[in-house]
Structure 1
Amino acid sequence: MAHSTFFRQFRTLLLQARDQNLQQQGRTTVPADPARRAFLRNSAMGGAALLSAGSLSGCFGARGERVAVIGGGLAGLNAAYQLSKAGMKVNVYEARGRVGGRVHTVQGVVGNGLDTDLGGELVNSDHADMQALIDDFGLSLTSRIEPNPTLDKVAYYFGGRKRSEAEMADALRPFAAQLMADAELLDMDWDTYAPLFDNQSLTEYLDMHADKLPADPNIRDLIEGAVRVEYGVEPDQSPVLQLLYLLPVVDGEQVEVLSTSDEAYVVNGGSETIVAGLRAALAGQIHTNRALQKISRTETGYRLSLSRGRDVEAEYVILALPFTALRNVQLDIELPDSLRRFINEVDLGRNEKIVAGVNQRAWANDNGFEIEAWNDQSVSLLWDSSLRQPQLAEASLTFFISADEVDGLFTETAAATGQALMTEYSNVLPSLAASSNNRFIRTGWHKTRYIGGGYTNFKPGQYTELAEAWLYIEADDPDEAQNFALDKLIFAGEHTSDEYYGFMNGAAQTGRLAAQVVLQSILQEA
């Protein structure tokens, strides 16, 4: 799924190019059916709600602590929350001093009254689990895609000038045709072609199809920048399957997008207001600074050796921590080799932010943009991160720094780096540097203990060889559905979601699904 507005817009350009090709051939597109997809997801959620809120609540009795959740990020908190709604008291053990994981909002740092999301920020229209939590806690959303006829939503600065969306889409037409052909191969025979495309890097794919790229080098820059921003790795570390799988899929006769990913909303007050709601709902059940050090089997379940306190024994354990953290835990339990490799080898990409405070929106003009800009300068993507607070005098601009761009992020202070970026981008936004209020904040997720990066990236070969057999898959057909559990050891986190890996919704979804696995198991034993 597209984790950034940047990737969504890149996908939009490819689809526009695809449509131009089809029109030239006298063919028409078949639109996707997002309502049907939403119905399928919601029907699965409805079944889980009936299961958890119904006859199971009487099964627990006074048996004591049955479930322990390791990890107080969005996945772990939602797993505990869903189980609590079913009548279970569940303890959550978090290694760090704060809960929320990669969901973290600060207030008033880059501007008076401004809410700034340092981690997860965007919510899609089809993110049912996130929207369910927002409804539960009485929160609200601001739309980022309401029409504004006076400004371009997105600006493209390549080759020292602003280029139109139509121009960029036209230049992508030959490459989009190649993607369309390869997407059709995947649709016809996934088992044959998915491993081939999974083992081929984007760099290799672009080299192979160099004849489909125009002489203008900015187009290859655009494609490589899109993947760099999306996954936090250089193009030679991203399989082309991720591009093909997340862009088009055959629907009837034509190709259409797989999802309705639109990054349409931001949470008013910041994404961490959801965490605050979960934390309040789980009062007395969250234990911070309790890092998991070792897990072993007992006759009735598992023993968890945690820092700063006694060991914990539990019948069920939900492991809701990034695999970059789990690989540092002593796992004295039997695990299939493919799962151990998944834990030890699949990493998080490097994605960081420098957020700059400004006294005015220097980008809100005819040569600028309303939402975001992507370009061929030192940082591929920047966006207005204060759209939900238009009433404030100050605003903020986020520079999204990815992959090898991160290497130079910590050579100077956040203020010095931020000021340098504001000066650099004044060549396309002339009053940008002058608009600075000299307030900056910088993230460091890839250096943060117990996290180690932005969000999941599968390197060439890893998805089909290691991950595909494990990830949660929701489906009405039980033969197509898949959980991520071994006996009473259950996994959760954005890295465990097939449909939403890399999204906050992937964390929320798999937390709910992990809770559902526990509830179904208890029901079967009752």
Structure 2
Amino acid sequence: MKRRDFLQTTALLGGALALPAKAYPTLLPGKKPQHVLIIGAGFSGLAAAYKLKKEGIKVTILEARNRVGGRVFSHQPINGESQTIELGAEWVGASHERVLELCNEFNLELFDNRFETDLIYRGEHTKAGGWSLSPELETFWQNKQSYWDRLSSKEKEKMDRMDWWRFLSRKGFTDRDIDIRELLDSTDFGESIRKVSSYCALAEYAESSEKNEMDLKIIGGNDQLAKKMAVAIGDEAILLGKKVTRVDQSKEGVTLTCSNGEVYQADRLICTAPTYMVLKINWQPGLPAGMSEALHALQYARIGKFPIVFSERFWGRENFDCITDGVGHYFYHGTKDQPGKKGVLIAYAVGDKAEVLNSQPKEARMRLILDSLRPAFGDLSSMVSGETSYYWGKDAYSYGAYAQYGLGQWFDLMPELKKPFRSVYFAGEHLAEWQGFMEGAINSGEEVVEQMLS
């Protein structure tokens, strides 16, 4: 049973895990809105606005950043060249139906962004195809979907209270197995697997594509989809540089006040802001205690992307990536299948490693990153021709890359965070079936519109 089906079934049975949760009292029950305000022009806000426009409802998006896309952040690292890398959301999964449908609708092409992974572990480099885990863990991994399907609801609830590291340890896998799974899996969740619910981990791996949804990317940058959606919604409906500081609700609807003093009014509001920004808003009346506590409890993954431009693609193949036990952590070819002699390797670090790299002066950070690759390629300093970085742990609008549900939080926090509050509805990747994907953000934005209009 898929995670979404499991949650819906539990809700129908009246269990404590019910999703969606019962809403707080609404001010305008059953009345179709004429005008809806949306906080945030990330993929969730854009998806909600696009769906509302198709329903003939006026929308106005207020976005604090000076661009659309939110945590989708495409970047051209080499002046004068068209190569594009992603400083934010990277992959479109093979099973991401809505992203694929929207790309088709807007005539956007995708390319194969799958990689074959080298390993650098304890000073030794092994090329893709030359390393593996123990036969016991390999067998478990091949059968993880059937293992997941056999679990009862009670067993899944229990798994949410156990971390992924402990779950694997109790299976009796070797230290090397667990070390490597720590390196691999922490890149998916943005923190150590000692902080990840074993329910969330197994659910994602059991239901993902072979490459864990790291399959495709939009030609020209993932932000092309955000820009296309923005044009379809209408530039006049998307107001950039508008940071909402106050939300007032009354019988007449919702009034938003921005940091520059501008005021906007509408019948309803959809808030797609990350939890950090939600808590920065002065809500009148104040948010319910249960929702406020959930907002404070949910953490976001500390992920940093540290791209390095090299004068040549010394790694030898376009589909190169490499997991390492160094501070650089995970490297992948950010300019895969894009023309040009130069190429970009992106060092993708999570948790404490990302925090360390971000805190170092540029020269020290570069040494740490290059040292992570040294066992495979030696001294690479002479080939470096540029670098940049983006640390989502200090992003001014999210203070993290994406939501990371901790132990025992999935079934407790999400129901609270999904509840409408009077005339306000909430959406975002943190309320999706999976965190960290564009697909989830889009799904959440569209689902909240259906909830509002039902």
Q: TM-score, normalised by structure 1?
A: 0.73
What's 2:447 paired with? 513
What's 2:134 paired with? 171
Deviation of 1:246 (Å)? 1.6
Equivalent residues of 1:194, 1:241 under 8 A apart: yes
Deviation of 1:350 (Å)? 0.5
Equivalent residues of 1:144, 1:371 under 8 A apart: no
- What SS is found at the alignment partner of 2:430? helix
CA deviations on 1:311-362 (whole Å, 9 max, x unpaired) are 2222111001111211121223465544332222112100110001112211
Equivalent residues of 1:238, 1:459 under 8 A apart: yes
After TM superposition, list the pairs within 5 Å mapping 1:97-496 onto structure 2: 97-109=66-78, 112-145=81-114, 153-163=116-126, 168-171=131-134, 173-174=136-137, 177=140, 184=147, 187-190=150-153, 192-209=154-171, 212-214=172-174, 217-248=175-206, 257=207, 261-281=212-232, 282-333=234-285, 335-364=287-316, 370-389=319-338, 391-414=339-362, 416-430=364-378, 432-437=380-385, 439-467=386-414, 485-496=420-431
Equivalent residues of 1:203, 1:236 under 8 A apart: yes
Deviation of 1:144 (Å)? 2.4
Name structure 1 gaps, 5 residues minimum.
Answer: 1-31, 34-58, 146-151, 249-256, 472-483, 522-526
> What is the distance in 2 between the residues matched to 1:118 and 1:181?
31
Equivalent residues of 2:308, 2:345 under 8 A apart: yes
Deviation of 1:403 (Å)? 0.5
> What is the distance in 1 between the residues matched to 2:249 and 2:417?
21
What's 2:42 paired with? 73
> What is the distance in 2 between the residues matched to 1:179 and 1:393?
38
CA deviations on 1:457-512 (whole Å, 9 max, x unpaired) are 001111122225766xxxxxxxxxxxx534542211111111x3210111122222
Task: From the superposition, tell whether residues 83 and 358 of structure 1 become closer, same or farther in structure 2 (CA, over 3 Å).
Answer: same
Equivalent residues of 1:172, 1:213 under 8 A apart: no
Aligned pairs, number: 424
CA deviations on 1:428-476 (whole Å, 9 max, x unpaired) are 1237444322x001002211212111111001111122225766xxxxx
CA deviations on 1:350-393 (whole Å, 9 max, x unpaired) are 0110001112211116xxx833111222222110011141x212
Equivalent residues of 1:94, 1:289 under 8 A apart: yes
- What SS is found at the alignment partner of 1:352? strand
Task: From the superposition, tell whether residues 448 and 144 of structure 1 become closer, same or farther in structure 2 (CA, over 3 Å).
Answer: closer
> What is the distance in 1 between the residues matched to 2:245 and 2:89?
27
> What is the distance in 2 between the residues matched to 1:127 and 1:486?
30
> What is the distance in 1 between the residues matched to 2:81 and 2:129?
38
Task: From the superposition, tell whether residues 166 and 436 of structure 1 become closer, same or farther in structure 2 (CA, over 3 Å).
Answer: closer
CA deviations on 1:383-420 (whole Å, 9 max, x unpaired) are 0011141x212111000010010221133344552354
Task: From the superposition, tell whether residues 66 and 446 of structure 1 become closer, same or farther in structure 2 (CA, over 3 Å).
Answer: same
> What is the distance in 1 between the residues matched to 2:431 and 2:290?
14
- What SS is found at the alignment partner of 1:135? helix
- What SS is found at the alignment partner of 2:257? strand
1:189 partner amino acid: S
Task: From the superposition, tell whether residues 179 and 298 of structure 1 become closer, same or farther in structure 2 (CA, over 3 Å).
Answer: farther
> What is the distance in 2 between the residues matched to 1:387 and 1:291?
36
Equivalent residues of 1:154, 1:371 under 8 A apart: yes
> What is the distance in 1 between the residues matched to 2:285 and 2:431?
20
Equivalent residues of 2:71, 2:89 under 8 A apart: yes
Identity of aligned residues (%): 20
Task: From the superposition, tell whether residues 121 and 93 of structure 1 become closer, same or farther in structure 2 (CA, over 3 Å).
Answer: same
2:255 partner amino acid: R
Name structure 2 gaps, 5 residues minimum.
Answer: 3-30
1:502 matched to 2:449: no
Equivalent residues of 2:326, 2:371 under 8 A apart: no
Equivalent residues of 2:312, 2:341 under 8 A apart: yes
1:213 partner amino acid: F
> What is the distance in 1 between the residues matched to 2:266 and 2:152?
43
> What is the distance in 2 between the residues matched to 1:263 and 1:156?
18
Equivalent residues of 2:163, 2:407 under 8 A apart: yes
1:90 partner amino acid: V
Equivalent residues of 2:74, 2:223 under 8 A apart: yes
1:94 matched to 2:42: no
- What SS is found at the alignment partner of 2:296? helix
> What is the distance in 2 between the residues matched to 1:118 and 1:166?
28
Task: From the superposition, tell whether residues 107 and 259 of structure 1 become closer, same or farther in structure 2 (CA, over 3 Å).
Answer: closer
Q: TM-score, normalised by structure 2?
A: 0.84
RMSD: 3.0
Equivalent residues of 2:295, 2:417 under 8 A apart: no
Deviation of 1:93 (Å)? 0.5
